[in-house]
Chains A and B, each alone.
Chain A
Amino acid sequence: MSFRPIFESHPWDDVKASIYAKTGADVERALAAPRRTLDDFRALISPAAAPYLEQMAQLSQQRTRQRFGHTVQLYVPLYLSNECQNICTYCGFSLDNKIARRTLSSVEMLAEAAVLKGWGYEHVLLVTGEANQTVGVDYLEKALRTLRPHFAHLSMEVQPLDQEDYERLIPEGLNTVLVYQETYHQDDYKKHHPKGKKSNFHYRLDTPDRLGRAGIHKMGLGVLIGLEDWRTDCFYAALHLDYLERTYWQTKYSLSFPRLRPAEGMLQPKVEMSDRELVQLICAYRLLSDEVELSLSTRENPTFRDHVVQLGITSLSAGSKTNPGGYAVAPESLEQFEISDERSPAAIAAMLRRQGLEPVWKDWDATLTALAR
């Protein structure tokens, strides 16, 4: 059992044509449906849904509050390494970028962790590039062991691993893994990942299945918006989510929708997504799934973030640095990408409170992981 046959039964051009063929009547039907299907989702992300945006936003807000209450979770990335053997056309850490490479030692991790703890964080996302020699499974295990006593929830956004590797890391405190397909367009994927392990489209596509089989608590999916037609790419992310929710129903899911931002040696986005279109996508995802967490990073600007926390977003990062050592050890090293919202975590928490929302610093504890097994 895997996602691959489902993926292969949905040719890109057919999916794209079906989205662009949707009409206002299809959108109205989707909005009125008590439970929405993937076909309804096609209508909601289509150009035909643009005039219905306010209605989508109202419904999305209502459903988000029903399921998540007036809360927004806060998390922060902790970059452990920028070493990478991949060439990715859009990433500042790409192998062909001549930048100083750095991998944090345990002592340095703890120095970074102390800053994040001081800000109140209990949820941390560990990020590395893909370099098996330096940041392979042994290193990740060491990182989890080092940081686990200090945080309630550890997520990872690192290279895709084998199922046995995930099975080894989960007992060490790994709660969540984010693995974005970047694009579900196979030819385009190849173009943007010409070298390194990441160039294997199918190994990446199968990763959520390996995570599900390993029994991960939560996983995050998404595409990098800007590489290909966003509507089609995001349909595949929804198709993937739908399959995973039904197959690995004990796992929680989150979705993210990063828009390409300037980075060292980066290409310009092939497709630009407007703010209005990103709101449409956020609402469409919420109207498809009540349960899925929707996460927004500091790539987006303060005005946009302040408004969309009311529309369906359930998780925000704040105070982020995208360079290893950025919080304490080496604040001047090169970033993976520039951030747009530089407000402190305290300022973000205050913004949420002003809007009647409760910032959640901790919604999980290691004790619960033990009980769940």
Chain B
Amino acid sequence: MGADAVLVNTAIAVAGQPVAMAQAFRLAVEAGRLAYEARLAAPAAQAVASSPLTAFLD
């Protein structure tokens, strides 16, 4: 998730619709960068419920 560049020339050139494929790669690169910058959650040794049981009290 920290790639510096992507080589996509052939993948786009030989696609059925090269413009649409180029658009798809652009969105994929943007999605990856956004996720990278948003940072992953910290790993935990134990499972933690993603929907806290007491959130309704907040």
Contacts and interface: CB of A to CB of B under 8 A. Distances in A.
A155 interface: no
* Chain A: interface size category: 10 to 19
B42 to A, nearest CB: 17
Interface stretch (B14-22, B27-35, B47-55): B47-55
Contacts of B53: 54, 57-58, 61, 307, 310-311
Most buried by A among B49, B53, B56, B57: B53
Interface string A39-62: 000000000000001100110010
Most buried by A among B49, B52, B54, B56: B54
B56 A307 contact: yes
A303 B56 contact: yes
A340 to B, nearest CB: 16
Nearest to B49: A58
Contact of B57 (A58, A61, A276, A310): A276
Contacts of B49: 58
A311 B55 CA distance: 12
Most buried by B among A61, A303, A307: A307
Contacts of B57: 53, 275-276, 279
A273 B52 CA distance: 22
B56 A54 contact: no
A53 B54 CA distance: 7
Contacts of A54: 52-54
A146 B39 CA distance: 68
Most buried by B among A54, A61, A303: A54
Nearest to A280: B54
A58 B52 CA distance: 8
A249 B40 CA distance: 52
B46 to A, nearest CB: 10
A57 B56 CA distance: 12
A285 to B, nearest CB: 16
Nearest to A276: B57
A284 to B, nearest CB: 14
Nearest to B48: A58
Interface in A302-353: 303, 307, 310-311
A54 B52 CA distance: 7
A217 B4 CA distance: 72
Interface string A269-282: 00000011001000
15 contacts: A53-B54, A53-B57, A54-B52, A54-B53, A54-B54, A57-B52, A57-B53, A58-B49, A58-B53, A61-B53, A276-B54, A279-B54, A307-B53, A310-B53, A311-B53
Query: 6 shortest A-B CB distances, which residue pairs?
Result: A57-B53, A307-B56, A276-B57, A54-B54, A57-B54, A54-B52
